[in-house]
Amino acid sequence: MGLMRQVLGESFGLFRQVKLSRPLGMRVRNASLVRSKAFVNGIWKGAASGEEFAVINPADGEAIGSVPNMNENDALEAVGAAYDSFLQWQETTAKERSHHLRKWFDVLQKNQDELAKIITAESGKPLKEAAGEVAYGNSFIEWFSEEARRIHGEVIDSPIKSKEMIFIRRPIGVTALITPWNFPIAMITRKAGAALAAGCTCVVKPAEDTPLTALALAALAEESGLPAGVFNVVTSGRDNAPLIGKSFCESPLVAGISFTGSTEVGKLLYKMCAKGVKRLSLELGGNAPFIVFKNADIGKAVQGAIASKFRNCGQTCVSANRLFVEEEMYDEFAGKFKEAMKAQLILGNGGDGVSTMGPLINDAQTKKVDGIVQDAVKKGARILLGGKKASSVGDRFFEPTLIADVDPRMLCYNEEIFGPIAVLIKFKNEEEVLRLANHTKRGLAGYFFSNDIAQIWRVAKKLEVGMVGINEGIISSAEAAFGGIKESGLGREGSHYGIEEFTYIKYLCFGNL
């Protein structure tokens, strides 16, 4: 106990020795952003057990810091604090909450560069991409500072003269926000911005791989004057994460859970939430079709595919997972796409200012991606580019890979790849591609490139997904309603709909008037 625990890979039976290096705090100008304690009720604190775990830079395997390995009791203490704070926070006016969020946004903006460095260090994404994520992440706090003032009720015409009927919106209460490592800031702000704007308080449980960004967010929340207990962050390693999730689902003080992550974990949370009939918002895995019709602008389609497929090294839920290309255009698209990949994707340590693609997040993910490529080759697919680990760059780097002649028997066709692997599938006509694209349990995002307006409207309506990029590979923004259908999730984040996950409608009936 009290010893620093290296939990990376622990769940796969690996217990790797890590090189200790200069801690990240020494490399970030505003060192107060790099925290080694969790943030509960406005206090920086360790796990009651004293346990910690190391945070690893996936680009070089160096330990860049350590944070508390909290357990379910620590998490429930945070829930209790969030509940006490909720009793006051729900009484604030929309204007007050809006001002609080705006102040948080302002300090987040002031610290953009530092936040980007932290993201690069713990997630491996190149600095420029990390800076883009910070701008994206911060924009949710700005957006919801504005939406806070637009949460309205309704007055309904009563059928009875002596009665008046009103609907008001109320915050649901304490929310537990369980967030992933692929967008260490944006997946927190997209949830927390909406929750706080609605009048809820929250306990954030960031992913084990990227807790430092979450703690930096907490440090800036504190600096901005957000009241204690409104925004809490509990950190834990993989070993404690399942019990923390369970305790959130079972605590009577938690009103709702918002989770972004794998479909498997999402289903578990769904099941566990049934007991307490909790509000649940799930943003789960995708298997996005990316369709190029023969009449498309091929240059735009290639660029759209590069942007969608290789954003964050392919570790994005909305990433193009299956690239369907109409047969007349297949060879030309494959050739141009391969050249664009070679020219634009430079693997390397994200902090070097040159590389455009970083490592995979950890050893388990690297192994999974490697297995997916090998499976495709074994079943007859053709590697057009890459195809193996880029060990000369680092242990967790994978070559940008292009695979042709993929078919539905292959893992890469059915599973969310979450890596820099683009897979090409030839199709004959619109009817066939819609059938193939929709033949999946997932339904998060879909993309297609076409210049035929009638086809655009038909395909946009028929794709079984929650979000569609039409002649566009990047669809995310604070204003957008982000979310899926089928096994890709429940609810919407961002946009004005994001607020709905954190409010309920209360019906007031005034009688004997």
- To ligand SIN, the closest distance from the beta carbon of 249 in angstroms equals 21
Whole-number minimum distance, CB 504 to ligand SIN, in Å?
Answer: 25
- Residue 317 appears among annotated catalytic residues: yes
- Whose Cβ is closer to ligand SIN: residue 186's or residue 345's? 186
E strand residue ranges, 10-105: 19-20, 38-40, 43-45, 52-56, 62-68
Residue number with CB closer to ligand SIN (251 or 316): 316
CA 274 – CA 271 distance, rounded (Å): 5
SS3 64: strand
Phi/psi at 168 (5° precision): -120, 160
- What are the start-end ranges of the E strands in 293-353? 320-326
Nearest-approach distance from CB 312 to ligand SIN, in angstroms: 8
- Burial string for 117-140 (b: 16+ CB within 10 Å, else e) reads bbbbbbbbbbbebbbbbbbbbbbb
Q: How far is the CB of 311 from ligand SIN (least distance, A)?
A: 8
What tokens were used for 507?
Answer: 């019906």
> Residue 425: helix, strand or coil by DSSP?
strand
Q: Which residues bind ligand SIN (CB under 6 A)?
A: 182-183, 186, 260, 283, 316-318, 476, 482
Name the active-site residue from 202, 249, 273, 317. Answer: 317
Q: Which of 283, 399, 416, 430 is catalytic?
A: 283
Of 386 and 498, which has the nearer Cβ to ligand SIN?
498
Integer-rounded Cα radius of gyration of the chain = 23
User: What single letter denotes the amino acid at residue 400?
Assistant: P
Is 273 among the residues known to form the active site?
A: no
Q: Find the shortest distance in angstroms from Cβ 488 to ligand SIN.
A: 10
Which CB atom, from 57 or from 308, has the smaller least distance to ligand SIN? Answer: 308
Q: Which helix (H) or strand (E) holds 271?
A: helix 263-276
* Nearest distance from C-beta of residue 38 to ligand SIN, angstroms: 24
In the bound state with ligand SIN, the residue whose beta carbon lies nearer, of 116 and 317, is 317
Q: What are the phi and psi torsion angles at 163 (to 5°)?
A: -125, 150
The crossing angle, in degrees rounded to 10, of helices 127-147 and 186-198 is 10
Question: Does residue 228 contact residue 39 with C-beta atoms inside 8 Å?
Answer: no
**Strands 485-486, 442-443: pairing kind:** antiparallel
Minimum CB distance to ligand SIN smaller for 66 or for 488: 488
User: Which amino acids are annotated catalytic?
Assistant: 283, 317
